[in-house]
Structure 1
Amino acid sequence: MIATSPTDFEIHLFHEGSLYKSYELFGAHVIEENGVTGTRFCVWAPHAREVRLVGSFNDWNGVNFDLIKVSEQGVWTIFIPENLEGHLYKYEIITRHGDVFLKADPYAFYSELRPNTASIVYNLRGYKWNDQAWQRKKRRKRIYDQPLFIYEIHLGSWKKKEDGRFYTYQELADELIPYVLEQGFTHIELLPLVEHPFDRSWGYQGTGYYSATSRYGTPHDLMMFIDRCHQQGIGVILDWVPGHFCKDAHGLYMFDGEPTYEYANMQDRENSVWGTANFDLGKPEVRSFLISNALFWMEYFHVDGFRVDAVANMLYWPNSDALHKNPYAVEFLQKLNETVFAYDPAILMIAEDSTDWPRVTAPTYEGGLGFNYKWNMGWMNDMLTYMETAPEHRQHVHHKVTFSLLYTYSENFILPFSHDEVVHGKRSLLNKMPGTYEEKFAQLRLLYGYLLTHPGKKLLFMGGEFGQFDEWKDLEQLDWMLFDFDMHRKMNAYVKELLKFYKRHKPLYELDHSPKGFEWIDVHNAEQSIFSFIRKGAQADDILIVVCNFTNKVYHDYKVGVPLLATYKEAINSDAELFGGTGCINKKPMMAIEEPFHGKPYHVRMTIPPFGISILRPMRKRGERNSDGKEKVRRYAVGRRAR
């Protein structure tokens, strides 16, 4: 229920930085006051001399529509005795120097389609959610020991209509959701959906943080899209940018003629890399605004998590040659995470942090920032550097593959191949691979296999699932015509098989964040660029053997040490002809030989495919799967186990 006017307590909490549902106070709300239905507007403009309301209901003339200042720190409000739902509006700000600006409402729930910039009075209530089963499941399961493979999407360029128009939220629900289900991803991550003026900012330079972009439909349409994702078992993560905002005249920048949402000091305020302004994270009202915004998306849109963009840009003061820590950012991020986890303990808070800041995913009561996941940018950069190296020279950068295991358990990591790696001339993942046409596909399959088997959760940007050859063209749709080509269809078949295999095998996710879940078999074979390791589940004998060959050489009768005396079957081989490979696979089961090798008590002899990954699992008797397809405790074909 929206109160008829701001209370002293609400105003106190807002100026204290702890009004975490400030969207119930600020913005435009249709309410009843003294028996009269009307619309209340409330805005924060601490430096303004006057504030007036203009809109389609008063011919954009603010005379006699003056807001009343109800706090010395600049909270202004007005009640119009009329239901103004659907009307356009802005605030006419008169600065202390007499200048006049027209500003969109920072707390608007809906906005005009660009290039128009007015806010729209919109009632967010009334959508009937049908995702109760999803919410119960989410609360019941710990994501840390569950599969998490994210499909990162830019809704404006996933698919487009023939005339270049965007798909609507309704159309995306009809097409995107079945596609994600078919591929096998567990979650989708949407590039920012806050209102933004420039398409090519991809939503990272926002003006309306409470306004779901009108490019694809109304806020209720977006609720429907997320609801349908949940009904199909797909989680929804929102890319979110609490660090900086765009400087368009109608937005947050110099809102009342002076720094309001941004730092007062120009050196701290200006973000020269992106041409934006940095939020003043030490200002209590800005903390109320931003932390409320996270709760807003959780409450009204049921989002399952946030990928928090550019954390490094917040943690360190900008425009400095040295890394000077920003204590305001640390306090803000800790309070943000404490607040959202109190609201929903199952939320995903994912830091996109490129630095080595310690304890990003540690709880705040242990001195951490309080996120529960962090993108592993180091792993991503090292692996792409390694893959772009000519195969004959990879032996000289062997450490690029091995280094990640020295720190992989220092945080809860997500391994990202995101949009940032396939744009601005960086080339697509497929086209980063050296060699011939066929070798590019082989190495990308190998890279995806290594992504799948390396500890940590996973993320892949759209188009990667079928081997898009060109880098991301953000003004066009994905190159769907590539499905007409055999190698791309086979690449997609491989990715779908990987995802199915991933979700069925607990060793690939159950101990992602524990050193007990991984063990090297052979980490030193730089000369041949072959790596072998074990992934383990919570049960001692629940294992997978992984062998990766990063050269185009084939090896027959290759010895690999194994820990269990069992018969092993090749479960996945990226070189299978079905996936576009040359067919160097291990058709027959491999019985472990009682002879130590690679420091293990037994070994198998196998064929190592060129530019390939092979995953072996101990064979089990029939009927040993749960109803969900996940493996039960195995019984081995050969009687004894290693002690």
Structure 2
Amino acid sequence: MNYTLYKKFGAHIKKVNGVTGVSFTLWAPNAIKVSVVGDFNNWDGKKHYMDRDIKTGIWSLFIPYLNEGTVYKYMIADKNHKIFLKSDPFAFYSEVRPNTASIVYNPFKTFPWEDSIWLEERGKESLYKKPISIYELHLGSWRRHYNRGEGLEDGSEFLNYREIAEKLVPYILETGFTHIEILPLTEHPLDTSWGYQGVGYFSITSRYGTPEDFKFLVNECHKAGIGVILDWVPGHFCKDAHGLYRFDGTPLFEYDNEILGENPTWGTANFDFTKPFVRNFLLSSATFLFEHFHIDGIRADAVSNLLYLEYGREKTGLKNALGGDAKLEAIDFLRTLNETIFKLYKNPLMIAEEATSWPLVTAPTYKGGLGFNYKWNMGWMNDMLKYMSYSPCERERNQNLLTFSLMYAFSENFVLALSHDEVVHGKKSLLDKMSGDYIQKFDSLRMFYGFMFGHPGKKLLFMGGEFGQFIEWRYYEELEWKLLKYPQHDSLKTYVSKLNEFYKSEPALWSKDSTPDGFQWINHKTHTQKLVTFIRKTDNPDDFILVVCNFTKDEYIHHPIGVPRMVEYEEVFNSDKNIFGGGNQLNSEIIKPMNRDLDDQPFSISINIAPLCTLFLKPIFKKRGN
């Protein structure tokens, strides 16, 4: 295992015999000739041939007097004497699309990091017992210089990483999220892929500036106490001619077996994890991101595509050595990846986007797990978005969609993700998914967010969801920030901000996310009322929160609910407050307990709750000396 291949491969500025130049190193074992070409030699493949190590298939060449900023590619001749140009798989910087050449860049030069306090604090405490609320964003469409749609090929429509930092950091502080998660920034040729079909696994995309500019963004986030997670795609890559596909004229990075190597679902190629170099290539990419950009975690995209031989394809009869459908070599890679990252870095976030019921995704590898520490809860997301799209009368027949997630909520460490995938391709925006009229959609979305923050699991919300973008996400234009001029949208943003702050302040909502003793149903069976109540707990029996969610359009006045303790209660958060855009139906007075059992609880209280509302109640112990 080698997780620092980037120290040897690629283009490195060196001094040889007193002369400064660039040393190029490339793996292309099946090529018959390789040369380095660029502006410095008029792209003439006959001027700078590389030397080959026959045993390893590694080509190398030192070219004197080249400097940082040199534009280059590799000219490769395959065994059939076909000649083609390839970008450097280990390039540390690349031309702005649509240009595809690599650029000599020194990733090891000193950067004035100021995030030592953040990194030290990150390493002190387990993430399982901390609040995590993630703002997922696509840098190219969060904010823009222009809003003209696609067509500008010089990148001028995009904000620079430094400009993004200037706007994004105060926005995240205002809205209260603990982390940002950025759609893939590894270099990719096509904006339409959103970064999920890459070519440069060591090259932070030049669309938004230089690697130093991106370091600046991470540094500013960390100084402000904001974590940074990057989406990362270890399963497949794009088939563009300048990229990894058929790199030396043969299936080098992808499987030799075309059935395994081709990915018909996305029109991409699958990495071949039977090859040690490919495994080390990806392992090195992950460690490079942590080491050189100080990121706090990665979300591994499309993990299901790695786990199964026949995922996303028609049945082919493919079987592993044990006769099953599991892709054993990819599973071994994922375990090695997680073991390596957790060994090298303190308390990283290693998050799997895994859409099946594969067991033990977030279990340690020594227990037979894949070794991630979090997994997106795709089941909860699908069930709840379907449930929220139903009218209240339809919800009565589909109550299982609301409650089923608690049957498996503690089988993994989950992130409740309302991601970019749910607001594209005709699925509607989150706000537009809600049933009802204009006002009811806002009420429903606030109530849904409240239920989400009460439900066990860390949180993730895609950009635009915090202020209720009505149209679907469009990667080619910025968010509809003009909507904040309208009271309902601005009030929703205020609500999400306050909900985040409330969530972070209440350990009962996050300290026991992954253990069943942190959750208790009070009532989830009254289908006709569609009013659910449950408790979130801490290790302190006096520190718990009662969550009440009204999924109906009916108002409940003096409505009794069961409670576990004979103490007074107070309302501490309510989605119906007028500052959030609601009708201000509150429980302003202290709520007195009654010595009457209800909902399988020994005591009860009487509350008021508005239609389509979530409220949070807390027992009063310290104030009354109990």
Cα distance in 2 for residues equivalent to 1:111 and 1:162 = 23
How far apart are 1:53 and its partner, in Å? Answer: 0.7
Contact 1:241 1:308 in 2 (8 A): yes
Tell me the residue number matched to 2:95.
112
Number of the residue aligned with 1:102? 85
Tell me the amino acid that sits aligned with residue 121 of structure 1.
V
Query: Does the 8 A contact of 1:421 with 1:428 survive in 2?
Result: yes
Alignment of 1:25-424 (within 5 A): 25-124=8-107, 125-162=109-146, 164=148, 165-318=157-310, 319-321=313-315, 324-424=325-425
2:206 partner SS = coil
1:438-463 per-residue CA deviation (whole Å, 9 max, x = no partner) reads 11001100110011000000000000
Q: Secondary structure at the match of 1:225?
A: helix
- 8 Å CA contact 1:57, 1:84 repeated in 2: no
Distance change (3 Å), C-alpha of 1:377 and 1:443: same
TM-aligned CA deviation for residue 221 of structure 1: 0.4
Which amino acid counterpart does residue 611 of structure 2 have in structure 1?
Answer: P
For 1:20 and 1:493, locate their aligned partners in 2 and report how far apart those are by CA, in whole Å. 44
Structure 2 residue matching 1:359: 3-state secondary structure: coil
Aligned counterpart, 1:474: 475
Q: Tell me the secondary structure at the aligned position of residue 558 of structure 2.
A: strand
The residue type equivalent to 1:263 in the other structure is Y
Checking the alignment, whether the CA contact within 8 Å between 2:41 and 2:47 is kept in structure 1 is no
Residue deviations 1:297-336, cap 9 Å, x none?
A: 0111011000000000110114243782111111110111
1:596 deviates by: 1.6
Structure 1 position 163, deviation (Å): 5.8
Q: Which residue of structure 2 aligns with residue 9 of structure 1?
A: none
Structure 2 contact 147–478 (Cα < 8 Å) conserved:
no
For 1:545, the aligned partner's letter is L
Residue 500 (structure 2) aligns with: 499
| One-letter amino acid matched to 1:139 | G
RMSD: 1.2
8 Å CA contact retained: 1:112, 1:118: yes
How many Å apart are 1:71 and its aligned residue? 4.4
How many angstroms apart in 2 are the aligned matches of 1:392 and 1:572?
Answer: 27
Aligned AA (1:155): L
CA distance in 1, matches of 2:454, 2:245: 45
> Across the two proteins, how many residue pairs are aligned to each other?
608
Q: Please list the CA deviations of residues 73-95 of structure 1 after superposition, one character each: whole Å capped at 9, or x if unmatched.
A: 31111111224211100001010
> Retained in 2: the 8 A contact 1:567–1:638?
no
Residues 579 and 360 (structure 1 numbering): CA distance in 2 closer, same or farther, change over 3 Å? same
Deviation at 1:38, TM superposition (A): 2.1
Q: TM-score, normalised by structure 2?
A: 0.96
Which structure 2 segments of 5+ residues have no match?
A: 149-156, 318-323
Q: Note if contact 2:122-2:346 (Cα within 8 Å) is conserved in structure 1.
A: no
- The C-alpha deviation readout for 1:312-371, integer Å capped at 9, x for no partner, is 011011424378211111111011111111111311100000000000000111110000
The answer for the alignment partner of 1:3 in structure 2 is none
Query: Secondary structure in 1 aligned to 2:618?
Result: strand
Tell me the distance in 2 between the aligned counterparts of 1:472 and 1:461. Answer: 9
Contact 1:618-1:636 at 8 Å conserved across structures: no
Deviations 1:501-530 (A, max 9, x none): 001000000111111110000121111111
What aligned pairs does 1:537-616 form with structure 2 within 5 A after superposition? 537-616=538-617
1-side partners of 2:308 and 2:449: how far apart? 33
The Cα shift of 1:582 comes to: 2.0
2-structure distance, mates of 1:347, 1:171? 27
How much has 1:638 moved relative to structure 2?
7.2
Write the distance in 1 (CA, Å) between the matches of 2:598 and 2:338: 47
Question: How far did residue 248 of structure 1 move?
Answer: 0.5
Distance 2:54 2:130 in 1: 49
In 1, distance between residues paired with 2:345 and 2:287?
Answer: 9
Structure 1 gaps of 5+ residues are 1-17, 620-633
Deviates more, 1:270-279 or 1:32-41: 32-41
1:102-146: CA deviations, max 9, x gaps?
000000000000111110000112212110000000001211000
Q: 1:171-209: per-residue Cα shift (whole Å, max 9, x none)?
A: 101101110110000000000001111111110000111
Q: What's the secondary structure of 1:66's corresponding residue?
A: coil
Deviates more, 1:505-514 or 1:26-35: 26-35
CA separation in 2, counterparts of 1:161 and 1:219? 20
Deviation of 1:34 after TM superposition, in Å, equals 3.5
Question: TM-score with structure 1 length normalisation?
Answer: 0.93
Q: Distance in 2 between the 1:593 and 1:182 partners?
A: 40
Moved over 3 A (4+): none
How do 1:527-538 residues align onto structure 2 when only pairs under 5 Å count? 527-538=528-539
Q: Which residue of 1 aligns with 2:152?
A: none
The residue that corresponds to 1:21 in the other structure is 4
Contact 1:307 1:352 in 2 (8 A): yes
Deviation at 1:36, TM superposition (A): 3.0
The question of whether the paired residues in 1 share the 8 Å contact of 2:576 and 2:582 is answered with yes
Alpha-carbon distance, 1:587 to partner: 1.4
